[in-house]
Amino acid sequence: MHRTVRSTAVCAALILVAVGCSKSTPTADHSGSGVGSIVEGGVLRIGSSSNIDSLNPFKAFQQDAYNVFQYTYPYLVGWDTTNLTLVGDWATDWTWNADNTSVTFNVMTNGKWSDGQPLTAADAAYTLNLLIKYPGPTGLEGGYARHIVSAEAPDDGTLTIGYEAPVNEDWALSQFQQIPILPQHVWSKEEGDAGKGLRTFTNDAPIVSGGPFTLTKYSKDEFVQMDANPGYYGPKPHIEGWGLKFYTNADAMVSALQNGEIDDVESVPAAALANLKANPNLVVSEAPGIYFDDFIVNSNKPLHAELLDPKVREAFDSAIDRQSMVDTVLLGHGAPASTIVSPSTGHWHNSDIAPTPYDITHANDLLDTAGYPKGSDGIRTADGKPMTYEILTPSNVDGVDREFEIIQASFQQIGVKVTQKSLDPSAMFDLMAGANYDSYDNFDLALWDWYPLPDPDFILSVLTCQQYGFWSDTGYCNKEYDTLYNKQGLIVNPTERETVVWQMQQMIHDDRPYIIMMNRNVLEAHTSKWDGFVMSPIGSFTAYSKQTLLQVHQVG
Amino acid sequence: MRGIDFILKRTAFALITVFVAVTINFVLFRALPGDAITNLSKVPGATPALRAELTKEFGLDKSKWAQYWVYLRKLTTGNLGVSYSTQEPVTTELWRAVGNTVPMVLLGTLFSIILGVITGVLAAWKRRTSLDYGSVGVALTFYSLPTHWLGLMLLLLTAGYLPRGGREDEFLFDPSFMAHWLDVGKHMLLPSLTLGLVLYGQYTLVTRSAMLETLGEDFILTARAKGLPDRTIVRRHAFRNAMLPVITLVALSVGYIVAGSILIETVFSWPGVGLLVSRSVERRDWPVLQGAFLLLTISVVFFNYVADLLYYEFDPRITT
């Protein structure tokens, strides 16, 4: 999702995990990584620039809330960040029926909730049935139970889930990866009238937890304390616990790391990287990210109709100097990009599509040929009107002003004049979506960014017609694309699904509702007293895997 | 009778101001583009059912008039509503933030008042000397500096000595009473100092101006003619008479204490009212914004009211 949204909504899905630790992934870099024996115990102090809005999974929207849920609750599956595959978390294995309309999970029966109650498959069945029964009150979690019609637990270790139609296994598992399993004995008392109690339950600390850690202390906008849960079903973590301290200033957070006030920061500004690398007491980690920055062309009813001309879009694409953006905006910590599915997601990325080369001559030729002559002032005209456009930019995206300046300078060379209008994300989306959030008739161009998930389903979905008013920021609506989107979620054969996903990327590349500009690298840092962080395209501390905090340890 | 009349008029004016502010608060935030539902329904897997549920839950399916009426009705019972983003009662959110903001801002404001009055008095007393030019110049420089920039510079300068942000070190598990308060004090020092440095210039200028005016009065000349020492003249006669405009400024400043400071609280990760307001604007969390601005309105109106009453008490010109 858009970075902006990351702060308000994100999480629920975002961030995933992908790619692996530096030791097994040649593309990741851990400069100064320490080597030493594992020292058990200690509390890892993590600095975060996000925060937690609620401890109730049916109400929370913020990224760190979901990071905390990942370690607080059992999940049936999680992402293995070393190879970007979904593996068992609480589930040991699963079996699909012949027509992919039902899946049976075997879950571990050795776990206990932190209040001593047994953790069984009945808790999972209860949670899934809540989502089916109360799609409204269960909020965003309810969306992950799409197509599920039944969930049953014939015994403590078995969970059977039924679907209304055959589904793709990868897609279905990626949905389970988003659903925390809740303790039935706690939540069944909170349902209230028609499930409304599910949204008013505050789920205060200490939270009854089934994951490796228990949330024992929470101070809003300040701090979270997590202690190891002795009843956890999996291998015991090396640490006694961890804490999350929230910062509203990234520079201060980095300074706190250098001061030794915290041990790890989730995200390091590129400008601070050189300083941190020079510090022998710190370890800097870098990996290619799945995040990307995009140039948006209104694909419904732009204020200037010529923007619907494919040749104009192609010319714009050629006139964007991606390498210059990477060098100046990201200080080299990124790469020119080509499609909405980033290369770091592995096989889902359509590698046949290369980043469009920066070629002003070609862009000028395209516009000349398409019939947009330059006027005496050097600005081209379309239907007698100057090709002058306003580019909307979100006020909270790092480097977006510089991106605009680079585009402005290049576009000037092709006879197109652009001006910038900076808005806060909410106002910007309001303007883009138009009246009733479905007209998309009040803007021409925009810059924004996305934080997609490891599975391509989500980022592909944002360009469907159904996303008008929700995630669509392009006004793109193509029935053929929608058909492919629906198809990819239901194709049982993984290879066939990959083919459709590649086809959809090609379609977006050709239609250019988005012109993808660059992928941002993930940048993290921690003190050399700690090791075991599992780096991925969305960072090591995520809502999609328990790997890092189960492996992290002090160095002896 | 004249005194009662004055108090009644001022009280009525304060109440009307609060009511008008309540109405403006309701209209103002709804005039902003964007809304909370659009923000909150931007989650993967979001469905029309989620949007409908949120709209109904927040009462946004009703007409604006109906929403206004509900808002007023709740206000009469002290109910400020529920936050859209955290779904906690607004009063809970506000009190928590006020509790964090007031000590830090109060310390900074006290620092600025004391430093500003001292430098203002000294500048007036030593008028047209290097002390005058120096103190006014430094005060104006700090007053002109961007607050967040000054905060960041202080952070850089104190790296390794003072905490980088937050209200306390939560990783000090089970600290002693003294260790805890020492830690809280260390965390408060930088944000309060930043606020104090930015604000003290206004007190310097107002105090200096008032002192200069007073020092030019005939009674000061009389005191000098009587052979009173300079210090006595300044302390006993000039300073006391010059304090009226400073009292006004102090009352206004105290009224703003509950508002916190968005920039300072952001730089120092201080979970106060300023940060709450800033986040609520981003999230279009109208109930929190309405509550915060209502609190600020009441605070400012109340302390202005107090300043009026103090004027009535201390300035005989009002009653004659």
User: How far, in Å, CA of A526 to CA of A260, rounded?
Assistant: 10
Inter-chain touch B45–A11, beta carbons under 8 Å: no
Residues 6+ away with beta carbon under 8 Å from A551: A237, A238, A532, A533, A534
Q: What is the mean pLDDT of residues A447-468?
A: 90
Amino acid, res. B102: V
User: How far, in Å, CA of B202 to CA of B194, rounded?
Assistant: 14
Read off the DSSP letter of residue B236: I
State residue A15's pLDDT score: 31
Going by their DSSP bridges, the two strands A388-394 and A417-423 should be labelled as: parallel
Residues of chain B neighbouring A43 (CB-CB closer than 8 A): 171, 173
Q: Does B53 touch chain A (CB under 8 A)?
A: yes
Check pLDDT > 80 for residue A431.
yes
Check pLDDT > 80 for residue A112.
yes
Assigned token pair, B109: 């404001």
> Using CB atoms and an 8 Å cut-off, which of residues 245-264 of chain B contact chain A?
none
Task: Give the number of other Cβ atoms within 10 Å of residue A322's Cβ.
Answer: 24
Inter-chain touch B45–A10, beta carbons under 8 Å: no
Rg of chain A taking only CA atoms, in angstroms? 24
| pLDDT string in tens for chain B (320-residue length) | 567 787 888 889 888 988 898 898 888 888 777 677 766 666 555 667 777 777 887 788 888 888 889 888 888 888 888 888 777 899 999 999 999 999 999 999 999 999 999 999 999 999 999 999 999 999 999 999 999 999 999 999 998 899 999 999 999 888 899 999 999 999 999 999 999 999 999 999 999 999 999 999 999 999 989 988 888 898 888 888 888 888 888 887 888 888 778 899 999 999 999 999 988 888 888 889 989 999 988 888 888 888 888 777 776 666 65
Q: Which of A144-148, A331-335, B263-267 has the highest mean pLDDT?
A: A331-335
A317-326 confidence digits (pLDDT tens): 999 999 999 9
Assigned token pair, A143: 């969306």
What are the E-state strand segments in A229-280?
A: 241-246, 264-265
Average pLDDT score over chain A: 89
- Report yes or no: A281 and A527 within 8 Å, Cβ to Cβ: yes
Inter-chain touch B40–A14, beta carbons under 8 Å: no
- Report yes or no: A535 and A361 within 8 Å, Cβ to Cβ: no
Place of tokens 């047994």: A118
Q: What pTM does this model have?
A: 0.84
User: How far, in Å, CA of A448 to CA of B42, rounded?
Assistant: 15
- Report yes or no: A32 and A283 within 8 Å, Cβ to Cβ: yes
Phi, psi values for residue A372, rounded to 5°: -120, 85
- DSSP one-letter string for A336-388: E--SSS-GGGGGGS-TT-PPPP--HHHHHHHHHHTT--B-TTS-BEETTEE-E
User: How far, in Å, CA of B29 to CA of B286, rounded?
Assistant: 6
Inter-chain touch B43–A142, beta carbons under 8 Å: no
Nearest one of A45, A2, A48, A181 to A105, comparing CA atoms: A181
> Using CB atoms and an 8 Å cut-off, which of residues 89-108 of chain B contact chain A?
93, 96
Q: Does A297 touch chain B (CB under 8 A)?
A: no
> Using CB atoms and an 8 Å cut-off, which of residues 130-159 of chain B contact chain A?
152, 155-156, 159
Check pLDDT > 50 for residue A33.
no
B9-52 confidence digits (pLDDT tens): 888 988 898 889 889 888 888 877 767 776 666 655 566 777 77
Task: Give the number of other Cβ atoms within 10 Å of residue A478's Cβ.
Answer: 18
Q: What is the mean pLDDT of residues A236-256?
A: 94
B69-97 confidence digits (pLDDT tens): 988 888 888 888 888 877 789 999 999 99
Rounded to 10 deg, the angle between the A400-413 and A360-369 helix axes is 60
Q: Does A243 touch chain B (CB under 8 A)?
A: yes
> Using CB atoms and an 8 Å cut-off, which of residues 158-217 of chain B contact chain A?
159-160, 163-167, 169-171, 173
Q: Which of A117-126, A132-141, A416-425 has the highest mean pLDDT?
A: A117-126
Inter-chain touch A431–B33, beta carbons under 8 Å: yes
What are the E-state strand segments in A122-270?
A: 148-155, 158-163, 213-219, 223-228, 241-246, 264-265
> Using CB atoms and an 8 Å cut-off, which of residues 425-464 of chain A contact chain B?
425-427, 429-431, 433, 437, 453, 458, 461
Q: Does B33 touch chain A (CB under 8 A)?
A: yes
Q: Does A10 touch chain B (CB under 8 A)?
A: yes
CA distances from residue A190 to A152, A181, B55 in whole angstroms, order as listed: 21, 15, 22
User: How far, in Å, CA of A515 to CA of A293, rounded?
Assistant: 9
Nearest one of A10, A103, A21 to A50, comparing CA atoms: A10
User: How far, in Å, CA of A177 to CA of A16, rounded?
Assistant: 10
Check pLDDT > 50 for residue A246.
yes
User: How far, in Å, CA of A401 to CA of B223, rounded?
Assistant: 63
User: How far, in Å, CA of A154 to CA of B303, rounded?
Assistant: 67
Going by their DSSP bridges, the two strands A241-246 and A38-39 should be labelled as: unpaired
User: How far, in Å, CA of B66 to CA of A76, rounded?
Assistant: 45
State residue A60's pLDDT score: 81
User: How far, in Å, CA of A2 to CA of A7, rounded?
Assistant: 9
Assigned token pair, B13: 């004016």
User: How far, in Å, CA of A180 to CA of A56, rounded?
Assistant: 11
- DSSP one-letter string for A421-435: EEE-HHHHHHHHH-G
Inter-chain touch A258–B159, beta carbons under 8 Å: yes
State residue B39's pLDDT score: 65
Task: Reduce the DSSP state of residue A219 to 3 states and report it.
Answer: strand
Q: Is A37 exposed, middle or buried (0-12, 13-18, 19+ CB in 10 A)?
A: exposed
User: How far, in Å, CA of B188 to CA of B204, rounded?
Assistant: 24
Q: Which of A73-82, A459-468, A509-518 has the highest mean pLDDT?
A: A509-518
A167-222 confidence digits (pLDDT tens): 889 889 999 999 999 999 999 999 988 888 887 888 999 999 999 999 999 998 89
